[in-house]
Each structure stands twice: as C-alpha cells, then as structure tokens.
Amino acid sequence: MHRSVAVVMAWNVFKFCTALRGLGSLMILLVLSIVGVTYYAVVLTNYGPALLDGGLASVTALVVLFLFHALLVMLLWCYFSVVLTDPGSVPPNWRPAIDEENGEAISLTGSDFNNPILSIQQSSSLADSGNLRIRYCRKCNQLKPPRCHHCSVCGRCVLKMDHHCVWVVNCVGALNYKFFLLFLFYTFLETTLVTLSLLSNFIAFFNDGEIPGTPGTLATTFLSFVLNLAFALSVLGFLIMHISLVLGNTTTIEASI
C-alpha cells in the first residue's frame, strides 16, 4: 500500500517537473509581452508624443524616456544573462579528498579519484570528522560538493543552488546569481519609474479627468500601470529577501532548512 502511494507521488512530481519545463518558454513570452505592453503605453502612447509639445512637457518626456530605455536595456541584459548562463554544474569526476596535514577537505578532479569505493570511503570519513559533509546524489549517481543541490526540473545537480526560477527558465546558482540579483534591482527601478510616470493618468482616470487617446490606448495605459505597480511591490520584497541572504552568506534553500 505504501509502495503504491510512493509510486503515485513520484509520478505526480515527475509530471509537475515536466510541466514546469514546458511552462518555461511561455514565461519568457509572457515577460516580453509585459515589456511590450509597457513600452507601448509609456513610449508610443504617452511620453513619445509629448516630445513635440515643447516647453517643460518635452523636457520631462525626454528625461522619462531616457531613464526608461536605459533601465530597460539593463533589465533585458540581466534577464537573458540569467536565462542563458549555466548556473554551475558539478565538474566531471569530482571527488573530495582530505588534506592530511591540515585536516581540511580539498575538492579535486581527475583520474586519481575514479574509484567509487574509495570516494565514498573518503566522503564518509569527512562526514564523520565533522569538517565537511559530503553527500551523494542518487539521481545523478555522483558525489555532491558542499552547497550543491539536485534540481528536479533541470534534472541535474547545481552548484550553490538558490532556487529554480520559472520566470527565467533556469536554476539560479553559483554562476548566474549575480545576474539574477541585478535583474531584480533593475526590474524594481524600471517598474517604479513606469508606475510614477503613469500615476497622473491613473488618477485622472478615476477622477473623470480628460485623458487624451482612444479607448484602446487608455486601456493599455491602465493595464501597464496596474502590472508595473504589482511587479514593483512584489520584486521589492524579493530584492530585500535576497539582499539579506547575500549579507548572511546563505541561499534560499539553506535558509528554508
């Protein structure tokens, strides 16, 4: 009975991980769609035409458009850096070794440690000594370095894994965590800028003020304001959390254990 339940749970987890892989490409399209809607509302509908008004309105529009495009370039660069950068994988034939002189663990690669029995014995002695806990991944059939975790979605072990992010279709680990943190930072700045720049239109919409444009452009402006306000508030929470994790030299997985 217990075995059948375990098989069903394992199958459900497998289907869930497979669904996340398929969802990844759609999430990239969703991110680009939100960027496109925001670009249309800010540049093409509101502040682009304001450049021709002259006076203070043109200066304000120029400043907003400059900041908007600068932050957008940095946001997209960091986003695709997280998407395309490998988060870090375990080196081939990685084995832990003991520095007998200092009594510390050393990470080595090479043919000298290809004996699995010897490797497991070494990892056991390290765990018993209390200096370092070396673990073995049964799914990848290899030893795991410290702070390395297996991602069920990616199907492999990731160095210093923080979490698997559906929005970037990738794990956030040792090699792309910097880009992920910068992505949160620039996303917060960009969404805050858009929220503040469209705030006057949002207020005028509820005060029955006169807003130039067609019903379609008004709807796009309203949607962009709501989306960017929601993302600004949510990303601020994630940014504060990850800054605290960096200051504490820990990861999301380690903090939840």
Catalytic residues: 165
Any residues with CB less than 8 A from the CB of 185 and at least 6 apart, and which? Answer: 239
Strand 149-151 relative to strand 142-144: parallel, antiparallel, unpaired? unpaired
Reduced DSSP (H G I as helix, E B as strand, rest coil) percent helix, strand, coil of the chain, to 5 = 65, 10, 25
Spatial distance between the Cα atoms of 87 and 73, rounded to a whole number of angstroms: 22
CB 164: neighbour CB atoms within 10 A?
Answer: 21
Closest CA to 162 of 185, 137, 170: 170
At residue 151's C-alpha, the angle toward residues 146 and 157, to 5°, is 45
Spatial distance between the Cα atoms of 80 and 72, rounded to a whole number of angstroms: 12
* Distances, alpha carbon 253 to alpha carbons 38, 160, 162, in Å: 33, 9, 6
CB 257: neighbour CB atoms within 10 A?
Answer: 6
